[in-house]
Structure 1
Amino acid sequence: MWKYHVFGIVLAAFVLSMGFFYQPFSAQSKEIHWGLKKATKEVPAEAGAELDAMLEKHGAVYKGSPDKKIIYFTFDNGYENGYTESILDTLKQENIKATFFLTGHYLESAAPLVKRMIEDGHQIGNHSYGHPNLARLSKDEVKKELQKFDQRLSELTPLKRTTVTRPPEGIFNEQVLEAANEIGYQHIFWSVAFIDWHRDQKKGGKYAYDQLMSQIHPGAIILMHTVSPDNAEGLPMFIKEARKMGYTFGTLDELNMNNLDIPLSSQQ
């Protein structure tokens, strides 16, 4: 009888040990879809203590200081739809620098616009080469996605590499953050966004303006897509009104988050 008792104890210990062993892996591989409740009354939404701790551990950010009325523009570019040039014109006219997170397809198919982004002083971010779900890739595969983009970037532009990255569709896990860190990338998420990626839907510049104004807050990292005519039309109105409210516009370099081995300003 005691043999069965001992066997039960050993089996329980084995199960517990296996559970303990696999728990960290499970936590690392859990797929996360980035998204926040919308900010209201100039107060940013929070990601929550658990996610905040994970992001801080890996140097990832989604907003700047809540004490400084600075806004950071970021754009995700997977394909061209004819409105990026207008947005670049607005940014140049208003003397604002932004970060453009590009895919391999955009890099290769819109070379003149990428060249202008660089010449105008904007930062290029890594949105992966092929726009896959990075959370379903191995760590080595994640690294290869980011490095393949940078390889093409160095072949097509004067830049050697990127130092900031954003996962396609905001889907990631802790393993993705780790993989990026290990090869010198910092993840940049966002605190302000709205549905603006449907190229066949046109709601007008007032729609984009209203969406941005309703979520504005100190330290906002804004995500927009240049495929939207609404954004091209609404951006000048938003910039003008934000400045009236005392906001200025900064760059990711100006955020004090250079906690990786490769500083954000070392692209060239």
Structure 2
Amino acid sequence: MSRAPFLRTVGGLALLTAVGSASATAASSADCKGTLYLTFDTGNMRHAELIAQTLARHGAKATFFVAQEKTMRGDHSLDASWASYWQARVAEGHAFGTHTWRHGSFRQDVGERVQYFVDGRHEALDAQGVCDELTRSDARFQDLTGRRLDRLWRAPGGRTTRNTLAAARQCGYEHVGWAGAGFLGDELPSETHPNAMLVERALTRLRDGDIVMAHLGIWSRKDPFAPMLDPLLGALRAKGFCFAPLRERP
């Protein structure tokens, strides 16, 4: 069944959205005027199912960066209770990278070590300590799904140091940030950055090859951005963009 476009108005912004069978959403490479790389960090997982459904509806493959973060259910995102969620995403063909294990912040280099702020305190990690932060999520993901993570990682907040990047490379992980235009802003206050503004900004600024970043759930935002992903992807499709996992990035 073909997908007929219609205009959906959200917060005064008219967005072109497609309706029809999910199987018809994936545009062929010949139809693409540009490719975007959608990425999602775990966060509190509140909208994990909604985002997965939205991606499937648009035939969009994404890259998930996973950490052992506390979720709105009171468990953690790499607990066994989330195994079926991650197994389903693997079956759908998405890509996956490590977002560290404890979701701490790499603050600064101190000699050959890295100052890592986690659980309210600072730790001094050597190269093996950095590697352990990355590989522990990798090992847990394999336990849950039978699949290793792709050799990609993203530092929480995108904050890295020279020692951190060097240690990660030594244990086989390439760091992936995001484009300035690709920051969807789902962690910004909704009072000052309403959803319609964020969508309009993304549609205006995103360009071919950009890496787009959002979360599967954010604690602080009062008006969640996740429901806007559906009209946003529809409007991006209408502009000629296709979506691919990072492992397909040139």
When normalised by structure 2's length, the TM-score is 0.68
Which residue number corresponds to residue 58 of structure 2? 94
Which residue number corresponds to residue 9 of structure 2? none
Structure 2 residue corresponding to 1:128, chosen from 100, 111, 114: 100
What CA deviation, in whole Å up to 9, does each residue of 1:15-67 have, x standing for no partner?
Answer: xxxxxxxxxxxxxxxxxxxxxxxxxxxxxxxxxxxxxxxxxxxxxxxxxxxxx
1:107 and 2:78 matched = yes
1:166 and 2:154 matched = yes
* Structure 1 gaps, min length 5: 1-67, 257-268
What CA deviation, in whole Å up to 9, does each residue of 1:79-103 have, x standing for no partner?
Answer: 222x111111111111110001010
Which residue number corresponds to residue 43 of structure 2? 78
Q: Label 1:76 to 1:113 Cα distance change in 2 as closer, same or farther (>3 A).
A: same
Which residue number corresponds to residue 206 of structure 1? 196
Residues in 2 aligned to 1:129 and 1:201: alpha-carbon distance in whole angstroms: 31
Q: Label 1:188 to 1:79 Cα distance change in 2 as closer, same or farther (>3 A).
A: same
Q: Which amino acid aligns with 1:160?
A: R
Q: Which amino acid aligns with 1:125?
A: G
- Residue 200 of structure 1: CA displacement? 8.8
Question: Higher helix share goes to which structure?
Answer: 1
Aligned residues: 188
1:247 and 2:244 matched = no
Indicate the SS of the match to 2:227: helix
Indicate the SS of the match to 1:71: strand
Residues in 2 aligned to 1:90 and 1:221: alpha-carbon distance in whole angstroms: 18
Asked if 2 retains the 8 angstrom alpha-carbon contact of 1:196 and 1:225, the reply is yes
Residues in 1 aligned to 2:197 and 2:83: alpha-carbon distance in whole angstroms: 30
Residues in 1 aligned to 2:83 and 2:190: alpha-carbon distance in whole angstroms: 24
What CA deviation, in whole Å up to 9, does each residue of 1:163-222 have, x standing for no partner?
Answer: 110001111111111111111111111001143136997976534422322321111100
- Identity among equivalent pairs (%): 28
1:140 and 2:117 matched = no
What CA deviation, in whole Å up to 9, does each residue of 1:136-184 have, x standing for no partner?
Answer: 2322210111111112122222113431100011111111111111111
Q: Which amino acid aligns with 1:90?
A: T
Asked if 1 retains the 8 angstrom alpha-carbon contact of 2:86 and 2:144, the reply is no
Q: Which amino acid aligns with 2:151?
A: T
Question: Higher strand share goes to which structure?
Answer: 2
* Structure 2 gaps, min length 5: 1-32, 70-76, 108-114, 116-124
Residues in 2 aligned to 1:196 and 1:89: alpha-carbon distance in whole angstroms: 18
Which region of structure 1 is more displaced relative to structure 2, 106-115 or 200-209?
200-209
Asked if 2 retains the 8 angstrom alpha-carbon contact of 1:205 and 1:234, the reply is yes
Q: Which amino acid aligns with 1:226?
A: L
1:189-268 paired onto structure 2 within 5 Å: 189-191=177-179, 192-197=182-187, 205-227=195-217, 230-256=224-250
Asked if 2 retains the 8 angstrom alpha-carbon contact of 1:203 and 1:230, the reply is no
Indicate the SS of the match to 2:213: strand
Q: Which amino acid aligns with 2:64?
A: F
Root-mean-square deviation over aligned CA pairs: 2.4
1:155 and 2:143 matched = yes
Residues in 2 aligned to 1:202 and 1:113: alpha-carbon distance in whole angstroms: 33
